[in-house]
Structure 1
Amino acid sequence: MNTLGLSLIMRMGCICTRESLNINGVKYNVKEHLGEGGFSTVNLVQSPRNKKLYAVKKIICHSIEDQKLALQEIEYYKKLKHPNIIELIDSTFKGSADIVVNITSEVYMVLPYYNRGTLHDYLGLKSLSKDYMSTKEILRIFLGICDGVKYLHNFKPEPLAHRDLKTSNVCLSDDMTPVIMDLGSMAPAKVQVCGSQDAQKLQDIAAERCSMPYRAPELFNVESYCVIDERTDIWSLGCILYAMCYFKSPFDIIYERGDSVALAVLSGNVTFPVEAPFPQDLHELILYILKINPSERPYIYSVTERAQTLSNRLDNIV
């Protein structure tokens, strides 16, 4: 991805600076430089006015296209209002990018700071001692993520797809409410692919913006004539649900080994540990979601209904 994964905004360090940022007349003191990647940096900042901590994402745009994508991300933030989707507190941009004369512009986004970090961070800590989450807690968090995804998929006038759902793009609030973040890959959900050129273009965009261990099969090998829809996100949800059970996506280990994630994903071979501390119903829910053929994959309403039914069943067990 060209922009830095927002999971970096959750890391606590010890680098203190006296740098400050002025965004639309509001001053923020930079407390820590948290990381960078591609053309983005993320800083932890504090407002001298209310002493609250925020995360400021800065994107350096080297072309009009870069600038357009960054400003589009801001527009999505402004349009979307849901408790399970991160809010944009403020934003601005400076300059005008022009690749011909090597002029860059800068886009700034002020976002909430989540002290608990991301779901990825949380699972990483639990994996150290194999401290499995309870099925009930897994489903509670999963249903919260699904609520945010349902809002996107039902958005008017046009359904939206996040296109990069993963554990590191889900923050956890103080009460463990999941909050979806990083809208840099978001796009209209339905994409009509007409010919090999369209297919290659979409495949290249997916390779750049969609994290491989959570990427839907149809985005690895885009057919020349097809319709890609919001069910790319459903595949990612299945990977997230698996990760909440076993700390990593079913394709993370393959990715870490350097083997072909594309081949593993397209094979559809999802296995579970032999000594699984979870009910068969939860495994079946994961397999119900992770259908290779997108036309067989459920929509978000069916996923939510089945997950809620399982959660209710657990409530009734004495």
Structure 2
Amino acid sequence: MATIYEVADKAGVSLSTVSRVLNGKTTVNPALKAKVEEAMLALNYRPNSIARSLATSRSDSVGILVSELNSPFFGDLMQAVELTLRAADKHVIITVGHNNLETEQDAVEFLIGRNCDAIIMHAEAMSDEYLKTLNSSRLPISLVNRQVDGVGEGCIVLDNEKGGYLATQHLISLGHKNIAYISGPSDKCDANQRLAGHKRALKEAGIAFTPNLVFEGSYTEEDGKAGLLELLSGDSPFSALVCANDWMASGAMSCARDLGMNLPQDLSIVGFDDAVFAHHVFPRLTTVSNPISDMAAMSARHILNVVYGYKDEVQTLFQPSLIIRESTMAYEA
């Protein structure tokens, strides 16, 4: 394996010049830099990352903390972050929090212990105060789909309230008045915002909000099935259903078919997220887009700015849009 001494000898430059090239210093003469890079290529030289980390106080590694791994949503998030950072010659270390306070905090300590320069996270259990302290006192963070005062441009969020509004307003425009709702967990900010949007759409249309037409789920497919069964067992009829994510919408659709219902003739259904499977289910799912890949990439750009001196423009608020497919239709009495 080639050494830095061999690179310097082959390039005909000093060790300090090779060191400055490896550490990304801008004061190196371009001609000398080219010689060093040619020598590194010819010798198949790979810099010692530990030594470079000691010299620069940077590991060029960024931690990613997500809630789960078994979801296309988080797969899209991680891929977008990794691709954005890799294009800047940075690498990622991934860990999982499982929406549990102790597990999330252990994951943060794990990433800090691996000398990550920053952490990009989609986490719910840790308090705002903990995250503010982490960002100000230990290392920079960026939050995807969560707003925390004091983290500033590190918070990359979706207008979830507008998304919930668009879903319900679409059904109202089709003539539906009795609209059921399967929400996410009430301890999650995005779930509450989406439900608030649902309520706003009803209020604007002069339709009374009916608590009996709401079922609280936890964003899983099974919650969609259980939610539909419980809503159907109640005494409040409905012709349409909004689900706070596509997994629950998929579960509700599967359950409805098992019950012999025709979709969307017997029940119009709207989801949220536009997951990869939304246009593969039958009928194809009308849903609200959640540009998680774009948001995750923006979080990575924020970290590149804050930690590595980049000057990219950062967009902190993203807008959802309604994607109309075949799971909804005009109300027929």
TM over 0.5: no
TM-score (norm 1): 0.21
TM-score (norm 2): 0.20
Higher helix share: 2
